[in-house]
């Protein structure tokens, strides 16, 4: 298996650089093809949501991009500066919150000041010296987000990070992640089962089916978005249909499918 490779600069190129390029990637578990010659490009700063039924390969793709797994065939190019936020905060209970934010780092990034700055961005400045066990679920997930952002990633991978939160906290976290991504500008891939969450957050939505990208569309609804209105309902119905759920839409979908990209040039800043 080939591990994901970091981008190398391409000299004298005027083509738009990519944050991620996946080329004909396949992954097989116990004779079952989970990813089947999948190809995908993600541009710098682009927020992409990945939908699909359970077992469709969403998390497998994310793990490959994170460097936690490797494809059986094909190649994936990713930035060296990348990080993951999981469904569980995965905080170290024996370390105070600020130390969790900079865990594994060294040098200027590993200082308390840097940790507190990141915590302030997620509204947790006053909890810097708290123990993780004293945090609420939403606070713990915000600490995990601060830990990701302090690393200044060019690629942020989100593996259903809000799934365990209550509805109100989830809504607040969705707004927070969108605002922070706009400020920091990483390419972002959000794996989610929640169609409404995908529409609220993403610039582009993909549907993974039978190991390949079966649907790829830009979302043209302007930000800030609300989970209501004809345009939102129409897009929601379209996506549910792609996922095999029949829902009557009240208006024509406000999306334009994207043709597969070919011949992309890899370029790193």
With respect to residue 265, please indicate whether it lies within any of the assigned structural domains: no
Total number of domains in the chain: 2
Question: pLDDT per residue over 99-143, tens digit each?
Answer: 999 999 988 888 999 999 999 999 999 999 999 999 999 999 999
- Domain finish residue from 118, 152, 186: 152
- How far is it, in rounded angstroms, from Cα 62 to Cα 68? 9
With respect to residue 264, please indicate whether it lies within any of the assigned structural domains: no
With respect to residue 163, please indicate whether it lies within any of the assigned structural domains: yes
- How far is it, in rounded angstroms, from Cα 64 to Cα 71? 7
Identify whether residues 242 and 162 lie together within a single domain: yes
- Residue pair 65/18 in contact by the 8 Å Cβ criterion: no
Domain that holds residue 20: 5-81+155-257
CATH number at residue 240: 3.40.50.300
Identify whether residues 235 and 192 lie together within a single domain: yes
Which residues pair with residue 219 across a beta bridge?
A: 255
Q: Mind spelling out the 3-state secondary structure of 151-186?
A: CCCCEEEEECCCCCCCHHHHHHHHHHHHHHHHHHCC
Identify whether residues 66 and 131 lie together within a single domain: no
pLDDT at 211 exceeding the cut of 80: yes
- Domain finish residue from 132, 152, 172: 152
Identify whether residues 137 and 167 lie together within a single domain: no
With respect to residue 251, please indicate whether it lies within any of the assigned structural domains: yes
pLDDT at residue 246, as a whole number? 73
With respect to residue 134, please indicate whether it lies within any of the assigned structural domains: yes
- Domain finish residue from 152, 176, 203: 152
- Residue pair 261/41 in contact by the 8 Å Cβ criterion: yes
Question: pLDDT per residue over 181-205, tens digit each?
Answer: 999 999 999 999 999 999 999 999 9
């Amino acid at each position: 298996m080939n591990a994901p490779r970091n981008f190398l600069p391409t000299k004298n190129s005027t083509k738009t650089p990519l944050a991620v390029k996946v080329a004909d990637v396949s992954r097989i578990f116990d004779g079952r093809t989970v990813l089947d010659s999948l190809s995908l490009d993600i541009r710098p700063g682009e927020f992409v949501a990945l939908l699909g039924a359970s077992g469709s390969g969403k998390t497998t793709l994310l793990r490959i991009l994170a460097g936690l797994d490797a494809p059986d065939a094909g190649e994936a190019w990713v930035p060296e500066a990348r990080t993951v936020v999981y469904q569980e905060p995965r905080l170290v209970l024996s370390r105070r919150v600020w130390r969790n934010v900079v865990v594994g780092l060294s040098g200027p990034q590993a200082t308390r000041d840097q940790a507190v700055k990141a915590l302030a961005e997620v509204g947790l400045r006053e909890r810097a010296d708290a123990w993780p066990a004293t945090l609420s679920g939403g606070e713990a997930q915000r600490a995990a987000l601060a830990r990701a952002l302090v690393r200044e990633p060019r690629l942020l991978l989100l593996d259903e990070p809000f799934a365990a939160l209550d509805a109100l906290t989830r809504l607040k976290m969705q707004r927070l992640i969108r605002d922070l991504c706009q400020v920091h500008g990483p390419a972002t891939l959000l794996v989610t089962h929640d169609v409404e969450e995908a529409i609220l957050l993403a610039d582009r939505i993909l549907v993974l089916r039978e190991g390949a990208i079966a649907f790829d569309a830009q979302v043209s609804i302007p930000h800030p978005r609300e989970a209501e209105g004809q345009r939102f309902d129409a897009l929601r119905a379209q996506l549910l249909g792609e996922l095999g759920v029949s829902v009557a839409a009240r208006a024509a979908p406000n999306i334009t499918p994207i043709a597969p990209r070919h011949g992309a040039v890899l370029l790193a800043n």
